[in-house]
Chain A
Amino acid sequence: MTDPTEHPAAITVSGLRKAYGRHTVLDGVDLVVADGSILALLGPNGAGKTTVVNILSTLIAADGGTAVVGGHDVARDAEGVRGAIGVTGQFSAVDDLLTGRENLILMADLHHLGKKAGRARAAELLARFDLTEAAGKTAATYSGGMKRKLDLAMTLVGNPCVIFLDEPTTGLDPRSRRTMWATIRRLADDGVTILLTTQMLDEADELADRVAVLDDGRIVAQGRPAELKARVSGGHIELAFADLAALDAASRVLQVMARDDDALTLQVPGDGGVPALRALMRRLDDTSIEVRTLSVHSPDLDDVFFALTGRATTDLNRADRNRTDQNRTDQNHAADQDPTTTEQMEDAR
């Protein structure tokens, strides 16, 4: 844990609870984010990430626990918190009917920057986010990546010292995603404290100084990405099979972390040591399952999640990752992952 007396904490959360009816969303969340650092709140869909952001950004009240953001208590001094933060939600909160520049000037006016300073700030942010050329066009004409950039630029108008980014790259193509990562890193270099949520483990690994793994309303692990990886004895072994029958047979006898029916691969835990490999091969031989190729992977955060929660990251996470990785070119692949699309295609036939 970061010692708050050594590095002043920009965000301190303790025992945060929230329930909707009988459904508990947050079950005692503790977090400390040091001033000027990036914390990634990592977890699958429904883990409670957005609820944490909503409470810390004063959108909803917690049922229990305390949270101090930028030196202000979220429950007692919501106005103070609002003056210190900037929030970029999961959905682009830009006014489609206004131009990029008008959106930024709207924010500047609401921050009472004054006409001249507000315009200057808007121009500066447009340049910084490479939006100057599109500044006079309405946001409705922007691409997804441009809208995200404009959204983040709007968040920065008031020079917030703490920024919340709720899944900042979900739905972006790989190139826009990398641009967004570079932008986030540069913000942290400028001394802004960032709490971002993500379902993507590589994103947390890439950006965060510290990662907090949220699962089912609890923080199940917290630490530097390297520390978390060190907690796992090893990485995983990926096995590729010749056909679905072999894949099925192998999934029955092995402890499976993840399975990909299209690539005909299985991921099983293992550190790649010779005894472990020998044991694995023996089990496959005993059941006469043919393995086409075998590869050993050093640990990444996927393995951490598996080790911490005893289950793989959800299929949805993988679908998202695959989609961003492959740039949505493979239509069959997408159809397989999306049951509604498959149904519609069958209906069409």
Chain B
Amino acid sequence: MSSHAFFADSATMTRRSLRQTVRYPVMMISSLVVPIILFLLFAGVFSGSMKASVAAFAPGTSYVDYIVPGIVLMTVGYGSSTTALRVNSDMTSGIMARLRTMRITRTAVLTGHVIGAVIRTLIAISLVLCVAALSGLHTRADALAWLGLLGVISLLTIAITWLSVAIGLAANKPEGTSGFTLLVQVLPFISSAFVPIGSLSGALRWFARNEPFTPIIDTIRGLLLGMPIGHSGWVAVAWCSAMALGGYFWSRALFNRGPSR
């Protein structure tokens, strides 16, 4: 198959994915509403009690500023659970089987899902950032930093989405994807997303320091608030690349495997 066919087929499958979103927007809205509610809740409830520790972390930073990167991450996570469900429904409904008996570039089917999901998620993140801006987010990002943000967030979305595609393919029924969804939703809480790692104790602190989401959040935060990111940037890129490649190869292997029934 030529690369031309790959691009044409990927574009076709992306159009389908976007059309599904337009036709059935409930899923995107619900994956957008939860992060926004969490954001407003955290900002409202904890901003007073967290003032001191956030100020100690970075002078001049408000709690709203502090938690926006974590909310961005959660938006990616909630969006990916939609993707896992979509892929799973294609798998169980026989659509994947149909596509696999057609002469199309194999990975174009999955690539379409991923591109559609990335577009959907980036739109959701823009909306979340708008809400954050209205709630008093004070960014110090220059043009270059915004470019970096777009890059890191896209890479993160691609990584989580490829993983969610694999989960969607692997699960026998929609409920099977919920474990992954839970993981993506809970891991940010044990990271630097909502409290500075220094304020965590013992095992939690060790875990938070070494889990993949911490360097990713630190990178987003650094770029957003105009702070140095140190080596977090490279660690974040490495984690995202590893997750993206792992998810891609896992998905490809699952896609080419025979139906279980």
Residue pairs across A and B with Cβ atoms less than 8 A apart, 13 shown, are A50-B261, A57-B101, A59-B100, A61-B258, A79-B1, A79-B103, A87-B98, A89-B94, A92-B93, A95-B95, A97-B23, A97-B24, A110-B104
Chain A, interface size category, equals 20 to 34
Contact at A92–B102, with CB atoms within 8 Å?
no
* CB closest chain-B residue, reference A61: B258
Q: Is B139 an interface residue (CB 8 A)?
A: no
**In the assembly, what is the distance between CA of A158 and CA of B98, in Å?**
13
Contact at B93–A91, with CB atoms within 8 Å?
yes
Q: Is A58 an interface residue (CB 8 A)?
A: yes
B1-35 CB contact bits vs A (8 Å, 1 = yes)?
10001001100100110011001100000000000
Contact at B23–A98, with CB atoms within 8 Å?
yes
Interface residues of B (CB under 8 A from A): 1, 5, 8-9, 12, 15-16, 19-20, 23-24, 93-95, 97-104, 258-259, 261
- B83 CB to closest chain A CB (Å) equals 14
Contact at A95–B20, with CB atoms within 8 Å?
yes
Contact at A154–B98, with CB atoms within 8 Å?
yes
Contact at B102–A158, with CB atoms within 8 Å?
yes
A76-111 CB contact bits vs B (8 Å, 1 = yes)?
000100110101011111111110001000100111
**In the assembly, what is the distance between CA of A127 and CA of B122, in Å?**
40
In the complex, chain A residues whose CB is within 8 Å of the CB of B19: 97-98, 102
**In the assembly, what is the distance between CA of A110 and CA of B97, in Å?**
15
* CB closest chain-A residue, reference B24: A97
In the complex, chain B residues whose CB is within 8 Å of the CB of A102: 19
- A67 CB to closest chain B CB (Å) equals 14
By Cβ-Cβ distance, the 6 closest A-B pairs, closest first, are A60-B258, A93-B94, A93-B98, A82-B103, A109-B12, A83-B103
Contact at B97–A93, with CB atoms within 8 Å?
yes
* CB closest chain-B residue, reference A90: B94
Q: Is A138 an interface residue (CB 8 A)?
A: yes
Contact at B258–A89, with CB atoms within 8 Å?
no
